[in-house]
Amino acid sequence: MESNNGTTIIVMSGEMDKVMAAFNIAIGAAAMGKETNMFFTFWGLKAIQKGNFTGRSFFGRMMGLMNRGGINRIGPSQFNFWGVGRWMFKQMMKNHHITPLEELRKMAMDLGVKLMPCQMSMEVMEIRLEDLIDGVEESCGVATMLERADRSKQTLFI
């Protein structure tokens, strides 16, 4: 499906609330029949990581330890309080029957949203394709993103 009416979302943030907004928008766009692409770069990569420790070099491993990925491990951008806020947010979401992030991600993929990891960020942070969840696209660069953005009516940077 190639259209000129798509939606492209660049996910730079790796925080629970922002990632949630990104997936919500992507799901809505896909449900409206738009070709939807999400590019995950820098901290955003955490949302599509399996959650294992990453890195090869000393700095890379340190980063993998202190900035461990995985969609269930990320906390909100405010009121995180070393994980207490994350727990609280999850409880509140459950109480209000809000779909958890992991399910939102699966729903997006089921609706045909393409999840595209940024090669350069993966390089810098020493994250390999094997560290990412199944079903993501091949890693790509800025030209791919811009080409998709060219075919989109909406391009968002989150």
Q: What angle, rounded to 10 degrees, do the helices at 16-31 and 101-110 form? A: 30
Write the burial class of residue 72 (CB in 10 Å: 0-12 exposed, 13-18 middle, 19+ buried): exposed
Residue (115 or 125) nearer to another protein, CB: 115
Cβ nearer to another protein, comparing 98 with 140: 98
Residue 31 C-beta: closest distance to another protein, Å? 4
- Considering the complex, what minimum distance in angstroms separates the CB of residue 135 from another protein? 18
Q: Is 32 helix (H, G, I), strand (E, B) or coil?
A: coil
To the nearest 5 percent, what fractions of the chain are helix, strand and coil?
A: 50, 15, 35
Q: What is the smallest separation between the CB atom of 64 and another protein, expressed in angstroms?
A: 32
| Residue with smaller CB distance to another protein, 32 or 62 | 32
Q: CB of 71: closest distance to another protein in angstroms?
A: 17
Query: Which of 10, 5, 7 lies closest to 113, judged by CA?
Result: 7
Pseudo-torsion of CA 100, 104, 105, 106, nearest 10°?
100
Q: In the complex with another protein, which residue's Cβ is closer, 29 or 45?
A: 29
Q: Which positions lie near another protein, rule CB under 8 A? A: 24, 27-28, 31-34, 96-99, 107, 111
